[in-house]
Structure formats: structure tokens, C-alpha cells
Amino acid sequence: MLALLAVLMGTALRFTGLGDKIYWHDEVYTALRVSGYTSADYAGNAFANRIYSAEDLLNFQHPAAASGMRESLRGLMSRPEHGPLYYLLTRVGFMFTDDARLATRSVAAVLSLLLFPAVMWLWRELFNERLGAWIILGLVALSPFQLVYAQEARQYSLWAVMTVAVCAALLRARRRDDLPAWALYALLITIGLYTHLMLAVVVLVHGLWLLWESRAQLKPFAVAVLVAALLFSPWLWLFHSGLREVGHVTAWMQVEISFARLSNAWGLHLVRQFVDTATMKVPQPWLYGVLVLLFYGLYRTARSAPMASKRLLFIMLVITLGVVVAPDLINGGRRSQEARYLFPALLMLMFMVAYGLADALNTERSLQRNLAFSVWLGLLGLGLWSGLNFIQAETWWNKSMSSHNREVARLIDAGKQPLVICPVGDINPGEVLSVAHEVDPRTRFMLVQFDYQPDVPQIKGDIFLINPTAEIRQYVEKFGVVTEVHPQGRLWRFTPAS
């Protein structure tokens, strides 16, 4: 009963305030490509040294009347490092509204609900036990981490579903060892790859696990993977053809940061599975409690879980964690600073915690049972409290570079006949669209090329600059003073010389 109540509350949280939070940089590009525009279409046509209203810019954030699925697919093919499935599904959202936030986030929220039956399915295949299935269901339903990505207009909620479902399908195929079971496994691999390319790492783990656990079934496994690879080959070819561009847009992953920042991020990833607050920067003291919980789950799983099941969980954890963390430690980089790339590993940890609690609840010692039940209730309570904080906030940690854009919008809207000058650049096209979602629809934007010199004295109203280049700032300063008014939001304000 408590688990079902947790599901109802988790579902309600997922659909509360979908349009309220900042529509951040990455989400803006979701709407852009689903609407049928490539980055070149937008940056090449909009940054034409001319003035737009915010309303004009937002035309790039929903499909045109004559735009169909073909146009959406064209936009998605321009960035093949992202699987197209979630993005094509968001066209369904646009059938009901032109509001990009609601259209794209509602699809992510609906897809996130599939995680509930998926975790129960995997639990049954792993342990064939009912009590733990309800425990993991409650934890996932109210997990703050899962809630955050259930309301993000990206593919991550579906990726979580497919990671769990593909693992369950493998165990089912191994158990039944018949054509329908292996066909289902191949189908789910295909869907998973079209959701997120990193599902290939999960398939690699499955192969290693079967090599250790059941070599006789390597042949049907290989056939299933080959079928999935053939079905995925059109997008794989597209990805391979665009490797140079993919390398350019993912170069930020290789920017080296200090180990202290990395390790702090890892702690936050762990804590946010169970509790999250808007002001949480350093995870202590929550981290200590979560680490105790995790070590207990790891210990109970290693000691008591069925051999095949715990091998799969531990191999999944080590490899899916290693492929993200190891490059940062060896070559430098910041991949593991982003929690979204650690979805499979974090889900495996959640399963181990649930197993530890279920194992304790199944003992004959009343003190141990009562303590485990109290911990589970406490985790559900912390998850609900975190979720209530989340749905009332304007922004959250996952909004990254765009976190301050609502504050930026308020500063702009406070101006008289504001005009915002924004040069083209790596992040500016996305950031100016994010800000356009927040300001008054009549706010004007001048989108310019790097070498353009606007006729500043002829511009009526207050002038702002978003992330200006040094050259543009120096040019504008010929006519007055340029002052930084929001460092985190990269907003500057021009005051004419008197």
C-alpha cells in the first residue's frame, strides 16, 4: 500500500509545474530540432544583424504549420550523437500545444512512468521475490534524481527505462531460452540504442556476464545483438559520418577540472538519489548517511543475493561507472561531473540498496526488520520532501549554464524598451533562446555576427548585451559605459555618455 501511495505521489510530482522552470540551453535545442531546424538553419538565418522580438525568436521553438516528421528527422540528423526516438515522440506533445516546455517535458514525464513496471520486472527476474519489488518501486517513484530528469526535455527518462528493461529482457531470455524471448531482447536493444548510444555499454556488460555465467547462450545473444545492430545501422552510419562534428560539440567533456570538483560532484550524484535541495552544493552531512546505506546494500547483495544476479549487478555497476569516470581520471575531463551519464550505474546502486533493505526485512529479527522499515520510510519521506521543494523552484542544478536566465530576464524586462545585443558563438544561440522564453514577448533582440557594428546612437531604449565578445564590447564603449550587471548570467548593460 505504501509503495502504491509513493507511486501516486511520484506521478503527481512528475506532472506538477512542467512549464514553470527555466527552459535551459539543451532543452531549447530539443525544441529547435524537433521543430525541424538544424543549428545551421537557426544560427545562419537568425544571426543576420537584424532585430527580432522574443516572439519572433520563439517561432524556432515549435513546428511550423507545414512541418512534418520529415523535417523533424532532418533536424535530428544534424546531431546524430543523440538517438532520435525520444525527440520524434515529442512531436506528439506538439499536437496538443505550441508551448515548447509543455510539449517536450510532458513526453519525458509520461515516458518516465514506464520505469515503474520496468524496475518491478527486473526485480522479479533478478530475485523472484515480491517484498523487494515494492521497496524498489517506492524508492524509484520518489527518487529526486529520477524526478529531475522526468521533467527535463531530453531522452534521459527513456534511457533509464530502456536500461532496466533491456537487463530484464536478457534475464528472461536466459531463463526461457526460446526465440520469442531473444527476439524481445533484440527489439529492446534496438529501441534502447535509438534512445541513447551509451546503451551499447549495457549490451557489452551483458556479453561479459554471459561469458562468465552461461557460455552456451552466447550464440543466441550474439544473434540478437547482430539483429539489433543491423536495425540500428542507418543511424550508426550517420553517427560515423558526422564524427568530426560530434567531436566538436562534445569537446567540453575533455575540459580538465580539479579532482576536488569531480569528487564533490560524485558525492552529489549519490546523495541526490535519495534527497535533494536547491542549495545543496557540498553533500555533507547527507553524504555520510548515504554512504552507509550504499555500503550496506553492497554488502548484503554480495553476501546474500543469488550468484548470477549479483554478478550482473556488480559488473553493470563497475563497467558503466568505469567508462565515464576512468577517462576523467586518466586523461582529464569532466564527463563524470554530469550525473546524466551515470544513469545505469546509479540505477544499479538503487537496486542494491533495495536488496539490502528487503533482505533485512525478510529476517526473523524484529529489531532489524523495524530498523529496515524505518529507513525505507525515511527515504520515502526525504524523497517526497525533496520533490515538493523541486516543483516549487524556478530553477535547479540540472539547468547548468542557464540557471540564472530568469534573473537575467527580470533585469532586461526592468529596462525601458529593452534591446538585447547577442553575437553568434558556441553557447549564445542556445542561451538567447532560453532567455527569450523568459522575457516579455515584445522584448527586442539584435542577433549579430562577430564583426557587426550596430549603430548604437540610433537605437531607442535601454541596451543590454548577452555574453558579448571583447570586440563588440569595446566598440559599444565608444558611445558610453558598458557595465556587467549579472556575472553568472553573462549580462551587460550599456549606459550612453551624457
Q: Per residue in 192-248, pLDDT tens?
A: 999 999 999 999 999 999 999 888 899 999 999 999 999 999 999 988 887 777 777
> What does the pLDDT read at residue 243?
75
Q: What are phi and psi of 71, to 5 degrees?
A: -65, -40
Domain count, the chain: 2
Q: What span, in angstroms and rounded, lies between the C-alpha atoms of 390 and 144? A: 8
Query: Are 270 and 357 found together in one domain?
Result: yes
Question: Cα dist. 295→266, 350, 374 in Å?
Answer: 15, 12, 18
Q: Within a domain: residue 411?
A: yes
pTM higher than 0.85, yes or no? yes
Cβ atoms of 487 and 464 within 8 Å: the answer is no
End residue of a domain, out of 363, 398, 433:
398
Q: Within a domain: residue 38?
A: no
* Summary mean pLDDT of the chain: 92
End residue of a domain, out of 376, 398, 420:
398
Query: Are 213 and 311 found together in one domain?
Result: yes
Residue 375 has pLDDT above 80, yes or no: yes
Query: Are 280 and 429 found together in one domain?
Result: no
End residue of a domain, out of 350, 375, 398:
398
What is the average pLDDT across 76-85? 88
What is the average pLDDT across 447-461? 89
Query: Are 340 and 244 found together in one domain?
Result: yes
At residue 431 the predicted structure's pLDDT band, cuts being 50, 70 and 90, is very high
Query: Are 124 and 258 found together in one domain?
Result: yes
Residue 6 has pLDDT above 90, yes or no: yes
Q: Within a domain: residue 214?
A: yes
pLDDT single digits (tens) 314-328: 999 999 999 999 999
Query: Are 201 and 231 found together in one domain?
Result: yes
Query: Are 490 and 368 found together in one domain?
Result: no
Q: Within a domain: residue 86?
A: no
Domain residue limits at 489: 401-496
Query: Are 484 and 356 found together in one domain?
Result: no
At residue 498 the predicted structure's pLDDT band, cuts being 50, 70 and 90, is low
Q: What span, in angstroms and rounded, lies between the C-alpha atoms of 359 and 289? A: 19
Q: What are phi and psi of 446, to 5 degrees?
A: -110, 110
Question: Cα dist. 111→42, 117, 332 in Å?
Answer: 29, 11, 34
> What does the pLDDT read at residue 44?
82
Query: Are 358 and 273 found together in one domain?
Result: yes
Q: What span, in angstroms and rounded, lies between the C-alpha atoms of 309 and 302? A: 10
Q: Do β-strands 419-423 and 444-448 pair in parallel, antiparallel, or remain unpaired?
A: parallel
Q: Tell me the DSSP string of 324-385.
A: HHHHHHHH---GGGSGGGGHHHHHHHHHHHHHHHHHHHTSS-HHHHHHHHHHHHHHHHHHHH
Q: Within a domain: residue 157?
A: yes
Query: Are 387 and 417 found together in one domain?
Result: no
> What does the pLDDT read at residue 280?
67
Query: Are 163 and 292 found together in one domain?
Result: yes
At residue 286 the predicted structure's pLDDT band, cuts being 50, 70 and 90, is confident
Q: Within a domain: residue 48?
A: no
At residue 107 the predicted structure's pLDDT band, cuts being 50, 70 and 90, is very high
Residue 418 has pLDDT above 90, yes or no: yes
Q: Within a domain: residue 80?
A: no
> What does the pLDDT read at residue 244?
77
Query: Are 410 and 393 found together in one domain?
Result: no
Cβ atoms of 188 and 62 within 8 Å: the answer is no
